[in-house]
Amino acid sequence: QTEWWYYTGNLTAVDGQRFGFELTFFRQAVSRDPQRNATWDVQDLYLAHLALSDLDAGQFLHAERGNRSGPGIAGINEKSERIWNGNWSIQWQGANQNLQAADNGFSLELRLHPEKGPVLNGENGVSQKAEGLGRASHYISFTRLAANGSIQLKGKPYKVSGLAWMDHEFFTQQLEANQIGWDWLGLQLDDKTDLMLYQIRRKDGSIDPFSSGTYVDAQGRSSHLREQEFTLQRLDGSWQSPMTGAIYSIHWKISVPKLGIALEVTTPLKSQEVTGSMKLAPNYWEGAIQLSGTRNAAPLRGVGYLEMTGYDRPIELGQ
């Protein structure tokens, strides 16, 4: 019933200016009635979010759109290897993915090349989110995509390069009624390893034991991490949204003892909340982060993205 493709990344321009970006495509099934097959009948709703973080100038721009497929306005086509919503699109060309998106005042055009193969998160290809059959998703990631291309910001072009991350997740039911949201991190470390961690928060303030993660070594081999094998700890530092009133933690400590990893997460830009006027998708904080710490006492740094949901109101997905 619900499916999404998340693209996020950290980019640096030739002049050293730093950017973060997000381009996300959502598909929400509405009907599978075979009698409703006219061009403008709604089988699926297609939503999309676009965001650009100008990390050095302290500026965050974002946009949203929602469409039905209609006569090709939005969709996903396996044969043509394309995902699109209006003029926002992902086009696969062999192993590469070409990203294009434009809105008032800014645009992105990137070529993404995988430095590692796809990763199946969870166990046996299933990422369990709660107790019970079906409370899970299929969850696939490209954790290290070399990104090259251009950004246009207020009429000024920037040639950029960096690292991107892609998540593809699909499910019908996922969260339980006592689960209100999650904190998710996708981390790309300087030693060529990658780490995905998420914790699901409950209404009583506890962390759900179905929280988990994935570690990807420098050669692309992945391993599953259970909730008890890592910790995500909030440190001093938060930001309150003037739009939603939500208070987000923007300073975190990560510990994965079995990997010898200890990291601190900070962000150069506090205001990276994605809010929507259509209210068809939740409000959430999705932003570029920087990492510093150690692996087995050796210095370790990196970049990534942090997502925090359910801070203004509980998330409801497939309930």
So what's the pLDDT on residue 279?
A: 65
CA distance 252 to 270: 13
Per-residue pLDDT of the chain (319 residues; tens, 9 = 90+): 999 999 999 999 999 999 999 999 999 999 888 888 888 888 899 999 999 999 999 999 999 999 999 999 999 999 999 999 999 999 999 999 999 999 999 999 999 999 999 999 999 889 999 988 889 999 999 999 999 999 999 999 999 999 999 999 999 987 888 999 999 999 999 999 999 999 999 999 999 999 999 999 999 999 999 999 999 999 999 999 999 999 999 999 999 999 999 999 999 999 999 997 766 678 999 999 999 999 999 999 999 999 999 999 888 754 4
Judged by DSSP in three states, 80 sits in: coil
Give the phi and the psi of residue 165 in degrees, each rounded to 5: -135, 140
Q: What local confidence, expressed as pLDDT, does residue 132 receive?
A: 86
Judged on CB neighbours under 10 Å (0-12, 13-18, 19+), 39 is exposed
Phi, psi dihedral angles at 258 (to 5 degrees)? -65, -20
Rounded Cα distance, 201 and 211, in Å:
9
Instruction: Name the residue with tokens 């291309």.
Output: 149
Instruction: Give the pLDDT score at 319.
Output: 45
Report the pLDDT value the prediction gives residue 35, as an integer from 0 to 100. Answer: 82
User: For position 228, what pLDDT does the model report?
Assistant: 97
Question: How far is Cα 271 from Cα 250, in angstroms, rounded to an integer?
Answer: 10
Q: What is the pTM of this model?
A: 0.95
Single out the residue of 108, 97, 119 nearest to residue 225, CA to CA: 119
DSSP label at residue 188: E
Q: What is the rounded distance in angstroms from the CA atom of residue 84 to the CA atom of residue 86?
A: 6
Q: Are 87 and 99 in contact (CB under 8 A)?
A: no
- The single-letter code of the amino acid at 35 is Q
pLDDT of residue 280: 65
Strand partners, 105: none
d(CA 136, CA 122): 9
pLDDT of residue 24: 97
Residue 314 φ/ψ, nearest 5 degrees: -60, 145
Q: State the DSSP H helix or E strand holding residue 234, giving kind and residue range, or none if neither.
A: strand 231-234
Q: Note the pLDDT of residue 42.
A: 86
Q: What is the per-residue pLDDT for 155?
A: 94
Which residue matches tokens 């390069």? 161
Instruction: Say how far apart CA 301 and CA 269 lie, in whole Å.
Output: 18
> How far is Cα 67 from Cα 85, in angstroms, rounded to an integer?
7
- pLDDT computed for residue 134 by the predictor: 87
Q: What are phi and psi of 156, to 5 degrees?
A: -105, 130
